[in-house]
């Protein structure tokens, strides 16, 4: 299988073998656009170029060996609009982190629409989700609503481009249930677009992609430069659901956290869709080709690894993300410094689009190491806040946490996380679980594996971190974090 992982900051394509191990990979970063404070946009033609470039690299390495299928996993919630006849986008994509529709969400809540959103979609009313982004895009860019219009998330954009890119050559307009469940337009119980929500936001249902299971054939490649034709696209899932699958959290009660740009804790809650729970999102974990659907509770933290990128690019106190761990470990504590990286507001469990980044407790002794350590700690505290809320909401304790993502390579992060949660943290050998998950979904559809249990058996432990016996220190530090967090709240309120 070849998996395309179209993330928020870059695209990685890689080969996943029939034994569940990763092979050759290629990566391209793409440009982040910040036209105004709180706004984040991507050029989707540039994303497509990055996909083509990485596919070309991977295909070159694979040579004559057959490719059974393509899997796609992607940054979720990001809104794209394009023309079916020309394949040209209607401007940039509005990225999941973008806060421009915060006031619109307030308005919808004031008008009493929150319970509709909670009940049908399992989400909360926050600019994070795609629905209000589509509405903004159609209205502010004067996009004509007609048969030529296509709306979709990044998965749909890539399926469209991979299958020909234009209506006249039969390009496919589809999405999978996991991506659809993040739009604020899907009824997660019926797994169909919700006519009431679409009407509320002025989104034409006819422009939306067809909703399909995460595992199963979506279409075949057609005319992609440097890549063979007729390869089936057989697995599609949003990056966090793919990571849950890639971590083999296939049984109810299993949970993972991915430390990437942001962090997303997902807990498998089984085949029954639970009622909305306070501060948490209910989402579709996957639907397999036989129709089996699994639901997850999710805590979404917008900024974790991105705060390390900010240490590098914004503050320039490190040259490389990999310096963070050693620098943070060079001291025993931050001397009371707390970094709250609420750069794009706060997600779970606070849901405050007006929060902004805050640093408190700085003294004359504060230096680079304290800033680095406080940033690592902020990832840990934010995760604890989410897990605490999840445990409270679901009434079941988690027994351990599987971790992955670029920043999970830091042992300090994993150890502090175990200490803060009081549970064992487990890191797998392959921490690119996002692409693994999409590879598994594609492989299941093509008969490479026959069951989720078989897929689960490929998971293997690289390291585990046991919590400190005494939680007094951890709890005291966390209590102080909550005070710091409070100071970041409601800062940018209009
Ligand atoms: N050696 C390292 N030590 C600490 N942090 C790291 C290290 N390598 C990467 N990171 C952090 O991990 C993040 C990237 O991880 P990953 O590639 O999993 O992110 P992602 O969220 O999947 O990216 P994307 O948003 O493009 O999908 C970056 O934000 C970076 O700061
Ligand atoms: Mg990613």
Residue 169: DSSP 8-state: G
Instruction: Return the residue matching tokens 């994993």.
Output: 414
Substitution site in 321, 373, 376 for ligand 1 pocket (most atoms within 8 Å of beta carbon): 321
The CATH architecture of the domain made up of 2-247 is 2-Layer Sandwich (3.30)
Per-residue confidence at 36, pLDDT binned at 50, 70, 90? Answer: very high
- DSSP, collapsed to helix, strand or coil, labels residue 11 as strand
Selection from 195, 480, 452 nearest residue 335 by Cα = 480
As a whole number of angstroms, the distance between CA 307 and CA 480 comes to 20
Angle 404-292-177 (CA atoms, 0-180°, nearest 5)? 65
pLDDT at 316 exceeding the cut of 90: yes
Pocket residues: Cβ below 6 A from ligand 1:
7-10, 75, 260-261, 305-306, 308-309, 321-322, 324-325, 405-407, 409-410
Report d(CA 49, CA 106) in Å as an integer: 37
d(Cα 454, Cα 27) in Å, to the nearest integer? 29
Does the pLDDT value for residue 469 go beyond 90? no
Give the residue among 253, 299, 247, 267 at the shortest CA–CA distance from 404: 247
Length of the chain: 494
The pLDDT of residue 99 is above 80: yes
Q: Ligand 1: distance of its center to the CA of 408 in Å?
A: 8
Q: Can you give the three-state secondary structure of 127-174, one letter per residue? A: CCCHHHHHHHHHHHCCCCCCCCEEEECHHHHHHHHHCCCCHHHCCCCE
- What atom in ligand 1 is closest to the CA of residue 323? 3
Q: Give residue 185's pLDDT band: very low, low, confident or very high (50, 70, 90).
A: very high
How many CB atoms within 10 Å of residue 141? Answer: 11
* Pairwise CA distance, residues 172 & 209, whole Å: 9
The answer to whether 51 touches 1, Cβ cutoff 8 Å, is no
Q: What does the DSSP 8-state code read for residue 264?
A: E
Residue nearest to atom 28 of ligand 1 (CA): 305
SS3 231: coil
Domain ranges of the chain: 2-247
409 alpha carbon to ligand 2 midpoint, in Å? 15
DSSP per-residue codes, 287-322? E-TT--EEEEEEEEES-SHHHHHHHHHTS-S-SSGG
pLDDT score for 468: 87
What percentage of the chain reaches a pLDDT higher than 90? 87
Encode pLDDT of 330-374 as tens digits: 999 999 999 999 998 999 999 998 999 999 999 999 999 999 999
**Rounded CA separation 19/281 (Å):** 33
**Average pLDDT of span 33-42:** 94
């Amino acid at each position: 299988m070849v998996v395309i992982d179209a993330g928020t900051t870059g695209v990685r394509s890689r080969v996943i073998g029939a034994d569940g191990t990763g092979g050759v990979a290629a990566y391209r970063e793409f440009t982040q656009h910040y036209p105004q404070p709180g706004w984040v946009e991507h050029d989707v033609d540039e994303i497509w170029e990055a996909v083509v470039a990485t596919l070309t690299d991977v295909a070159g390495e694979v040579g004559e060996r057959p490719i059974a299928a393509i899997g796609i996993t992607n940054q979720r919630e990001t809104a794209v609009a394009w023309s079916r006849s020309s394949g040209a986008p209607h401007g940039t994509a509005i990225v999941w982190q973008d806060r421009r529709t915060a006031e619109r969400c307030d308005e919808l809540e004031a008008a009493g629409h929150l319970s509709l959103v909670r009940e049908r979609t399992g989400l909360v009313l926050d600019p994070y989700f795609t629905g209000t982004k589509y509405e903004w895009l159609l209205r502010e860019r004067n996009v004509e609503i007609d048969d030529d219009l296509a709306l979709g998330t990044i998965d749909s954009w890539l399926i469209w481009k991979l299958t020909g890119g234009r209506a006249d050559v039969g390009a496919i307009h589809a999405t999978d249930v996991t991506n659809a469940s993040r739009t604020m337009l899907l009824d997660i119980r019926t797994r169909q677009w919700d006519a009431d929500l679409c009407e509320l936001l002025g989104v034409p249902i006819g422009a939306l992609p067809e909703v399909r299971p995460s595992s199963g054939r979506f279409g075949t490649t057609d005319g992609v430069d440097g890549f063979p034709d007729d390869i089936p696209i057989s697995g599609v899932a949003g990056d966090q659901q793919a990571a849950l699958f890639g971590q083999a959290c296939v049984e109810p009660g299993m949970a993972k956290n991915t430390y990437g740009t942001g962090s997303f804790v997902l807990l498998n809650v089984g085949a029954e869709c639970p009622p909305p729970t306070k501060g948490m999102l209910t989402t579709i974990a996957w639907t397999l080709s036989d129709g089996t659907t699994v639901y997850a509770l999710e805590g979404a933290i917008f900024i974790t690894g991105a705060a390390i990128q900010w240490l590098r690019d914004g503050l320039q106190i490190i040259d490389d993300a990999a310096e963070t761990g050693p620098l943070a470990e060079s001291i025993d504590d931050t001397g009371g410094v707390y970094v709250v990286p609420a750069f794009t507001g706060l997600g779970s469990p606070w849901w405050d689009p007006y929060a902004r980044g805050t640093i408190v407790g700085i003294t004359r002794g504060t230096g680079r190491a304290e800033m680095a350590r406080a940033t690592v700690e902020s990832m840990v505290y934010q995760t604890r806040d989410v897990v605490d809320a999840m445990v409270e909401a679901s009434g079941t304790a988690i027994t351990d946490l599987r971790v992955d993502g670029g920043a999970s390579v830091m042992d300090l992060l994993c150890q502090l996380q175990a200490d803060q949660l009081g549970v064992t943290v487990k890191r797998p050998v392959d921490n690119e679980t996002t692409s693994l998950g999409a590879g598994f979904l594609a492989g299941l559809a093509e008969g490479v594996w026959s069951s989720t249990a078989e897929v689960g058996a490929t998971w293997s432990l690289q390291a585990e971190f046991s919590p400190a016996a005494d939680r007094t220190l951890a709890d005291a530090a966390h209590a102080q974090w909550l005070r710091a967090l409070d100071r970041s709240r409601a800062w940018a309120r209009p």
